[in-house]
Structure 1
Amino acid sequence: MTLKVFDLQCESGHIFEGWFGSADGYESQQARGLLACPVCGSSKVGKKLSAPRINVGHAREPQAPEKTDKTAVAAPASSQLMQLQGEILRHLRQIVRSTENVGEQFSEEARRMHEGVIEERAIRGTATAQERESLAQDGIVVMPIPDYLDDDRLQ
């Protein structure tokens, strides 16, 4: 079965994937009011522009069957998948909320922790591309956080 995967966005700006059994699946579920944001529950959901995903698995050379038995796992139904995606997004947002927002002092605080000047703690904030590059060159690992995971940047 070929699945159609669309990037969806609710009226609050939450972005998530929707997996559908056919190209008409999205339209049908949208018309029946079955689509909802897994983060906030909004039913005002639309497709975002996205690049198509091309499945070229059929172009590969067939492989010899493996000698050992493998356990197969069935993919969850689309409603279960949306619920799972929502739980993951809520968990990620909770992780972000548990960090201290140091704002524009992010690079300075990260460097001070790296050098042992202050105690390490989970922080978040803003940094320019040049500041992030300088931190990386000094062996300080930082990870960008999408705006939709950071409540402070959504306001």
Structure 2
Amino acid sequence: MKVLNLQCVRQQHSFEGWFASEDDFQDQLARGVLECPLCGAQEIQKLPSAPRLNLGAAREREATPPDAMPAHPPASMTDMFAPADPAYQATVLRALRELVARTEDVGERFAQEARRIHYGETAHRNIRGRASAREAMELLEEGIEVMPLPAAAGDTLQ
């Protein structure tokens, strides 16, 4: 997994993107499927980034029971899945699997179903699915709480 620091050219919003490889990033960029999660702009640029070396993680791991969460959560999504801390990775994956097991996948209908639940048109239930950045922002503006998940959460964790 390659995590890149990205920015929309229009408003210079910075965000992270997760890709299988550099080629995957370049392919998505060329096809125009990348968009800023804040404003929906599709003109995206890659920012310079430095590799993260966590040389003290081995000592921390020895003192931490395998099922314990770290005292300090990661500073970024990049840190959350840093290979230097497999115990934390395992904990996050267990939590994501539990979330997937307790939610209904409504796929591309996520925004519509979230509104129907919020406005009482259908019974309350926990759902997950896919929404564009613009749809997510509109839901938040309506007071409907949404939370982004890693793209693979609904596909590979079940």
TM-score after normalising by structure 2: 0.46
TM-score after normalising by structure 1: 0.47
